[in-house]
Amino acid sequence: MLYEEIAIRLIQLADNDLSVREKLLMDGELSKGYHPEMEAVHKANSQALKIIISEIGYPTISKVGREASGAAWLIVQHAIGEPDFMKNCYVLMLENKDDLDFKNIAYLHDRILVYQSKPQKYGTQMISNDVLFPVENPSEINAYRLEAGLPILSDEQIMLVPDCDQIELIDSQDKEYNIWRKKTGWI
């Protein structure tokens, strides 16, 4: 590992994110839109990661270790108020895919697509606890998941995935979500 201090910092940032999330979840505050405290943590973390990227490039496993590289991904995955940052990090991750956990790339790929009202590829994003957001190719979903190191889905799980033509209906059920996505530049 080349950058031990940066690795420690990334892990601290991710731990704080998860700690605030857990607190808000326990208080019943997480399911009421994008909570301002959570948003503040995400913005502060993305700013810190932008500085790190400007100093060392994307935090890959060889640069900061597996745990800290995973922490960097978590920060990117949660930077939902910054579409351009997420997309730029996705490009950086693809450029360094041989030095990253490919699962993280798959999750980020899907998250970006879902926020843009597009079908996902790997089936990592959910509508509810039991139902995936629509996927672009349900018949190939398990092949894609295996390629990314994700567990395969059961036939029952795949059968529950709504068709892609249902995306507009799914997204229309949460007006606040759509207002937020427009405001942040997702749609």
- Please give the Cα distance from 18 to 33 (Å, whole number): 17
Which pTM was predicted? 0.94
Q: What is the DSSP string of the chain?
A: ---HHHHHHHHHHHHHHHHHHHHHHHTT-TTSSS-HHHHHHHHHHHHHHHHHHHHHSS--HHHH-HHHHHHHHHHHHT-TT-HHHHHHHHHHHHHTGGGS-HHHHHHHHHHHHHHTT--BSS---BSSSS-BPPBS-GGGHHHHHHHHTPPPPPHHHHHTSPPGGGHHHHHHT-HHHHHHHHHHT--
> Token digits for 76?
């990117």
In tens, the pLDDT along 170-187 reads: 999 989 889 999 999 999
Q: Structural domain boundaries of the chain? A: 1-100, 119-187
In tens, the pLDDT along 39-76 reads: 999 999 999 999 999 999 999 999 999 999 999 999 99
Residue 31 pLDDT > 90, yes or no?
no
Which residues are within 8 A (CB) of 109 and not within 5 positions of it... i.e. 6 or more apart? 90, 120, 121, 122
Helix (H, G, I), strand (E, B) or coil at 135: strand
In tens, the pLDDT along 67-123 reads: 999 999 999 999 999 999 999 999 999 999 999 999 999 999 999 999 999 999 999
Output the pLDDT for position 130: 83
C-beta of residue 12 within 8 angstroms of C-beta of residue 64: no
Confidence of residue 29 (pLDDT cuts 50, 70, 90): confident
Closest by CA position to 137, among listed 153, 101, 151, 89: 153
**133-161: average pLDDT:** 96
Which residues are within 8 A (CB) of 54 and not within 5 positions of it... i.e. 6 or more apart? none
> Token digits for 176?
């606040």
Residue with token string 């995936």: 132
Classify the C-alpha dihedral 60-65-70-74 as positive or negative: negative
